[in-house]
Amino acid sequence: MSERIRLVGVGGSSSGAAGSQPSEPRPHSPATPSPRLGGRGFGSLTSQRYKKYRLSDALDDEELMMPSRSPAADAHGSRSVTSRAVAGLALVFCGPCMLLDALVRAGVGVFRRQPTPTARTVEIPVLFEDRKHRRKLYAPNTVRNQKYSALSFVPTVLFEQFKFFFNLYFLLVALSQFVPALQIGYIVTYFGPLVFVLMITMAKEANDDLKRRRRDREANSQYYPVLNPTTGTFLHVPSSDLAVGDLVQVTKNQRVPADLVLLRTHDKAGSCFVRTDQLDGETDWKLRLAVPSTQAMPSDAAVAGVRAVLDAEPPSKDIHAFTGNLTLLSTHHVDPLTADNLLWMNTVLASPDPVLGCVVYTGRDTRAVMNTNTPTAKVGLLDAEVNRLSKILFAVTCVLSLAMIYFAGFHGNWAVYLVRFLILFSSIIPISLRVNLDMGKMFYARQIMRDECIEDTIVRTSTIPEELGRIEYLLSDKTGTLTRNEMEMKKVHVGTMSFGTDSFDEMAALVAAATAHTVVPPMLAVAHLGHSLDGTATMTPSSPLLPGFGQPPALPPLHSAKRGHGKTRDMSSRARDIVLALALCHNVNLIVSETDGTVSLQAASPDEIALVRWAQQMGISLVARDVHSIRLRLPGDVDVHYEILHVFPFTSESKRMGIVVRDSATGEATFLEKGADAVMARLVQYNDWLDEECGNMSREGLRTLVVARKRLAPDTLARFQDAFHHARTLLHGRNEAVQQVVAQYLERDLEILGLTGVEDKLQDDVRPTLEALRNAGIKVWMLTGDKIETATCIALSSKLVSRQQAIYTVSKVRTPHAAEEELERLAHVTDACLIIDGESLAVCLDHCLAAFLTLATRLPAVVCCRCSPTQKAQVTELIKRHTGRRVCCIGDGGNDVSMIQAAHVGVGIVGKEGRQASLAADFSVTQFSHLTRLILWHGRNSYQRSARLAQFVIHRGLIISVMQAVFSAIFYFAPIALYQGMLLVGYTTCYTMAPVFSLVLDHDVPADLALLFPELYKDLTKGRHLALKSFFVWLLVSVYQGGAIMMFALLLFDNDFVHVVSISFTALVLNELLMVALDIKNWHRYMVWAQVWTLAVYVASMAILPEFDLDFIATLAFVGKVLAITAVSSAPLFVIKRLQHHFAPPSYQKLVNHH
C-alpha cells in the first residue's frame, strides 16, 4: 500500500499545516553554517535502541526464587531464609537500574513513531515550513551506531555479564555475605574480584561506545546546502535534520547524507561518479545519471520551482536495484527511475562539480543502514571447551561441599553449612578466567597486526584468534584469491583461425588492413556493410580521410547483406569485427587525473579493462566516453562516433553484458553482447566450433568470453524501445518485464564474432602456501564459478593437487541414480582430488547428502566448479555440521561474503574488485600466501597460549580450594575460611596474575621452524590441550600440591595459627611462581620482570598485612620451612617432566634439539 503526501509547491499552502503562514527563512551565507532548522524533540533525543528486557520478567524471576513458606517458619537460618535474602538483595541491587531502563524504553515506545516500511509517493519539493511535519512521517536521518545511552549503559552491561551462569554465580556468592548466617571473612574478599572483572569489562565497553558516539556526532553535525523552494537559495542544514523531499546539494569528496534521487548535475550528459567502497567494498567508481527531465532545466533554482511526484518502492537492502518513477505534474511526463539514478547514503561524490538530489529515504530506511546488520558473534571452540570445564569445576565444588557435610554428619543447620562450603570453595571456578582469556586474545590480535611479515593484516574479530590453530578445512575462492585478478589476453578465436600472444602482431596488421581496405575500395566496403558492425563504423563521414563516404545511396539494403552472412568476410574483417566489438561493449570509463592530467581506466571488473587495453593494442582505442556516446580511434588516427542507446550491465545472475549502439554517420543500430559460454551458447546461432574451442582454452587455464552481435532494423529498434520504455515504467515486476523484452527483441539468433581467452595469473607463493597447508593436515577445497577445465588447470598449476594424487571428475550428473553410481565408483578412493561441477553438486546435496559428504570430507582436495554464492555458503555449513571440525573460508569478492560469514574463521583478501570480502571477514589479508604465517605461526601460538593460560588459571583456583578442604577436614569439617581479606583478593590479582599472564609471550618453536615443519600443526587439531585427560592430570597435580603444602604447613606451624597462614600462603605463592617458571619454554624479558615484580610486591605486602608476623617471617626458620614445603610440592613434578622430555620428548623438542 502507498502513503500519499499531498504537499503544494511554491506559492501553495500545506495540507499538513492548514492555516499556517509560511515564514520567510533568515538568509544565510553559503559559506557559513546556519543554525539548526527545526527543534529536536523527545523522539529524536531518545532515539536509542535498548535491550528487550522486561521488568516484569525480572519480577517474575524473583517470585520463582521466593519460597512458598512464611519467613517465620524458617526463622532458624534455613535454606528458605537464605534464598529469600539473596533474592531480595539482588532485586534491591539491580531493580532501580532495570526500572529506570524500562521507563525510558517505554517512553521511547510511546513518543517515537516506528512506521512500517511501505511504498511511498511524495510530492517534491517540500516547503521549509512543512519540513518538521515531513520528518515526523518518516525515519529521522540520524546516524546511530552507539550501543548504549547514559541511562541504559549500566543495566545493559550488567545484564550482558550476568546472563552467563558463572558471573551470576559469583554475584550471588558476593551478595550472600550480607546474610549474617552465611558470612565468611570480609565482604571485599568476594566483591573485589567480581568488581575488578566488571570494571575491566565496563571500561572496555565505555571506551568503544564513546568512540562510536564521537563518530555519530561528527556525521550528524555535517551541514549540507538545502534548496529553499520559496526563495531559490540554499540554506545550510545539518544532516540529522534532513527530511524526505529536501533538495540537497552534494559537493566533491562529500559523503552523501541520505538516499538521494539525482536530479541535476553540471555535466551536459547529466552524469557523475561516486565512490561506493564504504557501501559495497568495491573500489571502482560508479557512474550515476540524473533524471532526464530535471537535468534539462537551466539551473538548480528552476528545479525547485517545478512540482513533481516521486513514486518509490518500499525501503529494501538491495543496492543494485531500485524501482520508481518521477512524474512532472505540469506535463505528466514520466521518467522511470533505476539504481543508476540513485545516490546511496555513505557513498562519496567523486566528480569535481556539485550535484543536486532529492531525499527519498532517511535514517533506518536507507540502504546503508539496512545493510548494516549486527554480525553474529562467533564463539571459538576453546571457549566452548573452557565452558565445559567450568561446568565440571562447578560439579566438583558441589561434590566437595556435599562430602564435607556428609563426613561432618547431617546435623543442625546443615543446609546453611552447605551454602557456606559452596562459598568457601567458590575459588575453584576461576572468575578471572574469562578476563585473562579476553586480554590474551587482544594481545594475539595486536601481535598479528604488528607482524611485519604479513603487513596490512587486520583482525576484525578479536574473539577467535585461537581458532586459527584448529583449522582442518580451508575453503578458497579461485579468482582473486589463488589468482591475482590481473587479466591478460592470451588467445582469440574467430571461427576459422586462432590467434595467440605470438601472433597478436599479425592480428593488429589484419585490423589495420581491414580498416584501410574499407576506406580505399568503396565497393568492397559497401559489400561488408551488412555483415560487420565496424563496416558502418569505419565509414564515418566525420573523418577527413573518408570524404563523401557512408551516404545513403551507396549503402546496400540490410536484408540483402544478411543473405551473405559470414561467407563474404575475409579474415581481416573477422579480426576487425571482434576487436571493434570489444572496444564498444564494455562499461569502462576514462578518468582524467586532476594533478598530472593522466588518463586511467575505471571499470567494475579487471576483465573489462584488460579487453579494452587489448583492443587498443590491436589498433582501436577508446578516446572518449560519456553517458550517451563513445568515440573510438582507428588505425590512421581516424575517429568514429557511436551513440549509446541502451546498456545492460553484467550481473552475477545474467553472466553477460550487452549494449545497443548506433553509428552516428550511418544511423545503423547494433546490439553487442559478451558473456560466459554457458549462457551465450543458447543465444548465438548454431556453430560447430564453440564448445570445442571453449574446452581447449579452459584446459590452458584461460577464462573464456563469447562475443556476439545483432543488427537492428529501424522498425525493430523502434518496437524494442517502445516496449522497453513501457517495461521500465512499471512499479511492479519491472526487472522481469525488462528481461523479457530484451530476450524477445535482442537476445535471439546472435551472430557469433569470436571467443576470447584471458589468463588470470597466480598470486605470489600460492604453490608453497598450498603445499605447506596440505602438509599441516588441512584439507583444501576450491569453490569457483569457472568451468571444470579452467578449474582443473588452476588446481594443477597451483599444486592444489599433488603429483601422486589422481583426479576424479564428476560432471553433468542430473539424476539421483547417476549420482549414486558416481559415489559408488569413488567409495574406496582416499588420496585423490575430486572435481565436481555445480549441477552435479546440487544433485548430490539434494539426494545423496550423507554419502557425498562422507566421501568428500575424507579427500585431501576437492574442487567445486560453477558454484553460486549460495552453494558456497551451503557447502561451508554442511562441512561444519557433518565433520564438527573447524572450517576456514577465504575469498576476495562480494560473492564470497556469504561463505566467509558462514565459516568458523573467515579471511578476506583486499582484492582488485574491492574490500567487500575484507570488511565482512574476521581477518583481512592482502594476499593468499599470508595464510601460512597467519595459521601455522600465529594460529598455533594463539591456541597453545590460551590453552596453557586456561590451565594455569584453573590450577590456581583448584590448589587453594584443595588447601581449604584439607584445612576444614582437619578442623572437624568446619566451614571456616583459611585465607581472608587481602590475601584472597591478592592471590588472584597482584600475587600471581602477571606471571601467569606472561605465558602469552611464550612459544615452543621459533617462527622459521614452525613454517619449515608444518607437520607440527597437526597435533593442535586433536585438541589435547584442554581435553578431559589433560584436565584430570591438572586436577591430580592440584590435589597433590595443595595437600602437600597444607599438610606440611600444619606439621610445622609450631602451635601458632598465624604461622600456619603465613607459611602456607607464602609456599603457595612461591609454588605458583615456580610452576610458571618451569613451564616456560622461551624466556622473554617481560616474563623475568613479571616474576621479580610479583615477588617484590608480595614481600613488601608481608610487612603491611596483619596476617604476617614480622618477627617470625624474618627468621631462618620461616625461610627454611617455606623452601622445604615448596620443594616438596614442586620437585616431584619437575623430575617427572624432565624424565618425560628425556624418554618421550614431544615432536617440537626434537626439532629444537636438532636445529
* Residue 684: half-sphere exposure toward Cβ, Cα within 13 Å: 27
Place of cell 561488408: 528
Name the amino acid, one letter, at 887: V
CA-based angle 849:850:854, to the nearest 5? 120
* Residue 314: half-sphere exposure toward Cβ, Cα within 13 Å: 8
Cα distance between the two ends of the chain: 75
CA distance 720 to 710: 13
Supply the DSSP string of 962-977, one letter for each residue.
Answer: HHHHHHHHHTTT----
Name the amino acid, one letter, at 720: F
Supply the DSSP string of 167-223, one letter for each residue.
Answer: HHHHHHHHHGGGSGGG--S-HHHHHHHHHHHHHHHHHHHHHHHHHHHHHHHHHHT-E
Give 1051: exposed, middle or buried? Use CB within 10 Å, 0-12, 13-18, 19+: exposed
| Cell output for 903 | 565459516
| Residue of 1005, 1042, 1040, 1038 lying closest to 1020 (CA atoms) | 1005
Place of cell 559469583: 170
Contact 688, 737 (CB under 8 A): no
Please tell me whether residue 156 adopts helix, strand or coil conformation.
Answer: helix
Is the bond leading into 125 cis (omega within 30 degrees of zero)? yes
| Cell output for 160 | 550482558
Q: Which residues are CB-neighbours of 48 under 8 A, at least 6 positions away?
A: 108, 144, 146, 148, 149, 152
The secondary structure of residue 914, as a DSSP letter, is B
Q: Is the dihedral of CA 980, 984, 985, 987 positive or negative?
A: positive
| Cell output for 238 | 545539518
Name the amino acid, one letter, at 1117: A
| Cell output for 1028 | 578431559
Contact 355, 290 (CB under 8 A): yes
Q: Is the dihedral of CA 723, 727, 728, 730 positive or negative?
A: positive
Contact 358, 226 (CB under 8 A): no
| Cell output for 205 | 565497553
Q: Count Cβ atoms below 10 Å from residue 873 Cβ, excluding itself.
A: 22
Place of cell 528487550: 52
Give 741: exposed, middle or buried? Use CB within 10 Å, 0-12, 13-18, 19+: buried
Contact 882, 472 (CB under 8 A): no
SS3 sequence of 580-620: HHHHHCCCCEEEECCCCCCEEEECCCHHHHHHHHHHHHCCC
Q: Which residues are CB-neighbours of 995 under 8 A, at least 6 positions away?
A: 1072, 1073, 1076, 1077, 1087, 1090, 1091, 1094
Contact 1060, 1053 (CB under 8 A): yes
The secondary structure of residue 516, as a DSSP letter, is H
Helix, strand, coil percent values for the chain (each to nearest 5):
50, 15, 35
Contact 637, 678 (CB under 8 A): no
| Catalytic (active-site) positions | 477
| Residue of 970, 1101, 976, 1066 lying closest to 185 (CA atoms) | 976
Q: Which residues pair with 5 in a beta bridge?
A: 122
